[in-house]
Amino acid sequence: MVIDSIESRIMALKKQRNAVILVHNYQIPEVQNIADYIGDSLELSRLAADTEAEVIVFCGVHFMAETASILSPQKTVLIPDKDAGCPMADMITVEQLNGLKEAYPDAVVICYVNSSADVKAASDYCCTSANAVDIVRAVPEDRDIIFVPDKYLGRYVAAETGRDIVLWNGYCPTHVRITESDIVRQKEAHPDALVMVHPECSGPVCALADEILSTGGMCRIAGSAEVEEFIVGTEIGIVYRLEQENPGKRFYPAAELATCPNMKRTTLEKVLWSLEDMQFEVKVPEEVRIKALRAVDRMIEVIAGGVDTTP
């Protein structure tokens, strides 16, 4: 008796359900291999919104599935593991953000995409690690800025823009595992390598980098740079994608400890079960969705060079 592989069963169900499989850069290799699209969270959600798929299977963490629901309310959004959360997103609640807004009533609120739908809905702008600097620069100089939840990305943006920013004490537990000594050790071992780190890393780590980049930026520079070796200062899952897309080049994780247990919760079996049973659905309530979408749309307008939409 021939038993179909998990991958072939997933592909058959994907066709049957008219589904699209989105996979974040930090997912395990087997899951990356079945992706329709691989990328960062907002990039994936925007891609999915433009497809004819009726079902989105988001292999990532909960806030990513929420973002897909915000952009595609007519589609069914599934997350294969309902317990795949984001500690940084959980470090601020909408109640805490509202407290900050009361303390700085005239401030413009910018939230990193790594935040809950409720926090996005209470914000004026959303941003990604790739465009946070541009979003802050779009805010008039006479306005205060609240930036949540990532203090390290916020500090990087403040340094790049020269703006005083009210920061929240949030951070990514995975990126803070990358230390200065990790970078120094890898540079000693690979002196010709280009050091690229994510702005969620600490300031001292960023100070040692040749390039400070989003995951999408890392993928682009890996393909375009003439160097053959890279030290990668972000969650180690991206190394697989970098190697697949750049055969012959070498990529060294800055720290093997930089692994996100939540990103690693998704397996092929869970993707299969998600499609079989149409579980676990993530649906953002319409009232919250509309407000959160406003913050995302404002970000997109700034990046597209549209008019200033600062509240």
Do both 134 and 183 map to the same domain?
A: no
Q: Tell whether 76 is covered by a domain.
A: yes
Q: Tell whether 195 is covered by a domain.
A: yes
Do both 166 and 36 map to the same domain?
A: no
- What range defines the domain where residue 203 resides? 179-253
Do both 160 and 298 map to the same domain?
A: yes
Q: Tell whether 144 is covered by a domain.
A: yes
Q: Tell whether 141 is covered by a domain.
A: yes
Sign of CA dihedral 180, 231, 177, 188: negative
Q: What is the pLDDT along the chain (311 residues), one digit of tens a residue?
A: 445 799 999 999 999 999 999 999 999 999 999 999 999 888 898 888 899 999 999 999 999 999 999 999 999 999 999 999 999 999 999 999 999 999 999 999 999 999 999 999 999 999 999 999 999 999 999 999 999 999 999 999 999 999 999 999 999 999 999 999 999 999 999 999 999 999 999 999 999 999 999 999 999 999 999 999 999 999 999 999 999 999 999 999 999 999 999 999 999 999 999 999 999 999 999 999 999 999 999 999 998 875 455 56
Q: Tell whether 139 is covered by a domain.
A: yes
Cis peptide, bond prior to residue 247, ω within 30 of zero? no
CA-based nearest residue to 62, from 278, 244, 283:
283
- At residue 306, the pLDDT reads 57
* CATH at 228: 3.40.50.10800
Do both 273 and 219 map to the same domain?
A: no
Do both 214 and 165 map to the same domain?
A: no
Do both 97 and 165 map to the same domain?
A: yes
CA-based nearest residue to 41, from 22, 57, 56:
22
Q: How many domains does the chain have?
A: 3
Do both 232 and 205 map to the same domain?
A: yes
Do both 23 and 93 map to the same domain?
A: no
Do both 109 and 52 map to the same domain?
A: no
Do both 142 and 129 map to the same domain?
A: yes
Structure tokens at 27: 């997912």
Q: Tell whether 73 is covered by a domain.
A: yes
Structure tokens at 188: 């000693």
Do both 96 and 238 map to the same domain?
A: no
Q: Tell whether 309 is covered by a domain.
A: no
Structure tokens at 181: 């000594």
Q: Are 196 and 213 in contact (CB under 8 A)?
A: yes
Structure tokens at 233: 């200062």
Q: Tell whether 297 is covered by a domain.
A: yes
Do both 192 and 45 map to the same domain?
A: no
